[in-house]
Amino acid sequence: MPWTPGPPRQTLQKWLPDLSQGLDNLLSHKLRSLLTMLGMIFGVSAVVTMLSIGAGAQQKVMAFIEQLGVRNLIVQAKEAQNWQAMQKIRRTSPGLTLKDYQAILQTVPGIESSTPRKRFAPARVLPKPQLDLPAVYGVKPPYAGIAALETTEGRFFDEKDEAAAAAVCVLGATAKDSLFGSGTALGKYVKLDEQWFRVIGVASPQLSVRTDVPEVPAEDANNLIYAPLSSVLFRVADSQNFFKDEIDGIYVQLGDAQESTMKAGLVRSILNASHHGAPDFSIIVPAELLAERRKTEQLFNTVMVAIASISLLVGGIGIMNIMLAAILERTREIGVRRAVGAKQRDIVRQFVIEAVLISFAGGILGVVLGFAMAELIAWLAGWSTVVTVTSVLLAFVVSISVGLVFGTYPALKAARLDPVEAIRYE
């Protein structure tokens, strides 16, 4: 029994001649084909570029939130706007204190690690920094694990340093370069106001963002000096000032990130009781911030795609107009094909293939242009841009779909031409 081609092979044999003919028709009118593609090119490039800008910005913010720790809770003391407001608050609330910290440890279950924080802004620093004056963080040794802080030189201070209120410190990456340049800082001394601290370590670079992350202060996380909490409280910070909080932050690391929202509510209840309802603190839940940012990113991407898709819609209308004009030019050709046996679906297939080819070529050029525009924006504006596979596939699939949709009507119109009238058309 003789072998006959199967359905897939027969389908391929039908499509290949139309594909070849479609390419020949487009190449024979290069300028017209290029002008038709422009809408697709700019539409796809707009989608890729806008999504890359959004992805770059969101990626940086989300990386910063993840750096805060999805298992962490961070309590921040709120600074009053003026002296009168501070006096009013102090009538009811003592501010954030070490007693609050102890109450949280004794009441909240599932805490793996914790530390209070006392932030101190020195008036004078020696050696004189080349950049802004660094801030001082007085924390306990567990802070390094909570903040995922590693040292590139030396070590972080330990419990012995904390117990002895040792005058030692660890420099942030920017603070180290600002104070000591490119040379080593280990074993050298830094004077904070009237107190000298010996450098025992240099922290690895931390991610900082200037965008609005709720309740997170815009601060260079690398221009910091870390010191034992006891050293800061007893050596440099003015802890006796009644109008200043004894501590200004509490870091709590939980065993399970899923419980962060519930535990944050418990911490808030504890502080509301001790502060008598005064709104002088805030609680940051990085896990909630991360979830909110992801929702925001999805909404942002949807809006950006909708806006950029207008260009693709315009490009699709351009394809339809050109294809309708091509039908008039090729009316006689269509009539001859119908007269020699071509069916309506053959004519439809031919014109749909040409429309899809225009979209396909325009999509490829648009992706290339989108890559180039993203890199140019990153270079000129200094923004972070990330071209994702999803943005490329989305733009490309939409462009092909637009070509298919807007090429169908002209194809159907061509197929419905009367063969006799088409042959007689001049």
8 is a domain residue: no
Same domain, 248 and 313: no
Phi/psi of residue 137, nearest 5 degrees = -110, 115
Domain count, the chain: 2
**What is the reported pLDDT for 240?**
45
- 91 domain residue, yes or no: yes
Domain shared by 27 and 86, yes or no: no
Residues 332-382 have pLDDT tens digits of: 777 777 777 777 777 787 778 878 888 888 888 888 888 888 888 878 877
Residues 59 and 93 reside in one and the same domain:
no
pLDDT level of residue 3 (50, 70, 90 thresholds): very low
Q: Are residues 351 and 253 in the same domain?
A: no
**Residue 232 sits in the same domain as residue 345:** no
pLDDT(415) > 90: no
246 and 194 within one domain: yes
Asked if 120 and 269 sit in the same domain, the reply is: yes
What torsion do the CA atoms of 207, 211, 217, 220 make, to the nearest 10 degrees?
40
| Domain span holding position 60 | 14-64+292-424
Residue 285 falls within a domain, yes or no? no
- Mean pLDDT on 123-151: 90
Question: In this structure, are 275 and 296 located in the same domain?
Answer: no
Interval 189-210: pLDDT, tens: 999 988 999 999 999 888 765 5
Residues 44 and 157 both lie in one domain:
no
30 vs 7: CA distance, rounded Å: 35
Cα–Cα distance, 297 to 138 (Å, whole number): 35
pTM for the model: 0.64
Same domain, 154 and 176: yes
Q: How far is CA 316 from the centre of its chain?
A: 31
Chain segment 16-25, per-residue pLDDT in tens: 666 777 677 7
> Could you tell me what percentage of the chain is helix, strand and coil, using 3-state DSSP and rounding each to the nearest 5?
60, 15, 30
Final residue of a structural domain among 250, 279, 308: 279
Residue 2 is predicted with a pLDDT of 47
Confidence of residue 102 (pLDDT cuts 50, 70, 90): very high
Say if residue 45 is in the same domain as residue 113.
no
pLDDT-derived band at 425 (thresholds 50, 70, 90) equals: low
Closest by Cα among 228, 234, 287, 218 to 257: 287
